[in-house]
Amino acid sequence: MEWIDFATPKSVSEAVEMMASKGDRARAMAGGTDVLVQLRGGRRSADLVVDMKEIPELNELSYSAQNGLTLGAAVPCYRIYQDKAVIDNYPGLIDAASLIGGIQIQGRASIGGNLCNAAPSGDSIPPIIALSGVANITGPNGNRQVPVEDFCTGPGQNVLQNGEILVSLTIPAPQPHSGANYLRFIPRNEMDIAVAGVGTSVLLDASGQNFVSARISLASVAPTPVFSQAAGDSLAGKAVSDEAIQEASEKAMADAKPINDMRGTVRQRVHLVGVLTRRTLNNAIQRARGG
């Protein structure tokens, strides 16, 4: 392993300055559960690692009915699934935060880091896409916002330019009669990488019998997490039924463009997208109905 400088900025502006000074030779680190493994294994290299955990804005975890959830980019998973407001309002997010790694990993790993790592299999990304999350970015040229479904651009690649950092994610407050769920398929029961994953959110009408809208997002079936707009849109305005759910699952399957690798085959992954879309939709509907 080569020499690497390590810095711990205390403010967003200091962090941006440090990141900008090294360009693409700087790596941001939150929990480090991806970046340290990659550096050690030679899959990434860097001259400077910038620790984001001591910047207040990146540790913010707050909720209001008006602004929704602000999730600092370095907030570790355990804080998310122990937070009362998240438990009450975003069970679909808890699904992901509580299944990433084991207890030790959840004590360090952040959802912001999971997003920046931009793995197609990142478990927290589909639920945030399903929940209409937005990434709040700061860089040398100021602030900008990017919908999470547009954040990842390839395996391990994202929209961040040199010097830019992800400060936080914003997730709108849930509407009445809405529900969300994330499920992944792994061959074991825990501690594994998704062969396929599906995050869904649904908004039902007051009767709970009809879809107003839905958002569906897929993991591990393309170079980036997939926002399957066609699948979600197919449900809008329809009565809740097995047929509608089946149709949405077929549209999601059509949006899955996986590869064969040691974790699964194309056929298996497309099939699993169908299974998981149906299962998550049913779970999300149940949550929307208050179940």
- Residue 92 Cβ vs other proteins, minimum distance, rounded to whole Å: 21
- Residue 233 Cβ vs other proteins, minimum distance, rounded to whole Å: 25
Segment 40-59, which members bind other proteins (CB under 8 A)? 41
Residue with tokens 């355990």: 78
Segment 188-227, which members bind other proteins (CB under 8 A)? 188-193, 195
Would you say 1 or 65 has its CB closer to other proteins?
1
Q: Residue 68's Cα: distance from chain center in Å?
A: 16
Give me 271's structure tokens.
Answer: 């099939």
Instruction: Please identify, among the stretches 63-71, 125-133, 240-248, 269-277, the one whose residues bind other proteins according to the rule CB under 8 A.
Output: 269-277
Q: Does 2 help bind other proteins (rule: CB under 8 A)?
A: yes
- Residue 45 Cβ vs other proteins, minimum distance, rounded to whole Å: 12
Q: Does 103 help bind other proteins (rule: CB under 8 A)?
A: no
- Residue 276 Cβ vs other proteins, minimum distance, rounded to whole Å: 9
Q: Which residues pair with 28 in a beta bridge?
A: 50
When binding is defined by CB under 8 A, the residue of 65, 103, 206, 262 that contacts other proteins is 262
Give me 113's structure tokens.
Answer: 């880091």
Strands 61-64 and 48-51: unpaired
The secondary structure of 146-179 as a DSSP string is: EEGGGTEEETTEESPPTT-EEEEEEEPPPPTTEE
Would you say 177 or 184 has its CB closer to other proteins?
184
Q: Which residues pair with 64 in a beta bridge?
A: 68
Instruction: Please identify, among the stretches 128-136, 154-162, 204-212, 257-265, the one whose residues bind other proteins according to the rule CB under 8 A.
Output: 257-265
When binding is defined by CB under 8 A, the residue of 253, 256, 272, 281 that contacts other proteins is 272
Count how many residues are written for the chain: 291
Q: Does 184 help bind other proteins (rule: CB under 8 A)?
A: no
Tell me the angle at which helices 266-288 and 242-255 cross, rounded to the nearest 10 degrees: 140
Q: What is the largest CA-CA distance in the chain?
A: 62
As a dihedral over the C-alpha atoms of residue 115, residue 35, residue 162, residue 112, rounded to 10 degrees, the angle is: 30
Instruction: Please identify, among the stretches 60-68, 130-138, 232-240, 265-273, the one whose residues bind other proteins according to the rule CB under 8 A.
Output: 265-273
Q: Does 263 help bind other proteins (rule: CB under 8 A)?
A: yes
Strands 196-204 and 211-219: antiparallel
Query: Cβ of 275: how many Cβ atoms within 10 Å?
Result: 15
CA gyration radius, the chain:
19
Would you say 111 or 273 has its CB closer to other proteins?
273
- Residue 41 Cβ vs other proteins, minimum distance, rounded to whole Å: 8
Instruction: Please identify, among the stretches 66-74, 80-88, 203-211, 260-268, the one whose residues bind other proteins according to the rule CB under 8 A.
Output: 260-268
Residue with tokens 């804080």: 79
Q: Which residues bind other proteins (CB under 8 A)?
A: 1-2, 41, 185, 187-193, 195, 261-265, 268, 271-272, 275
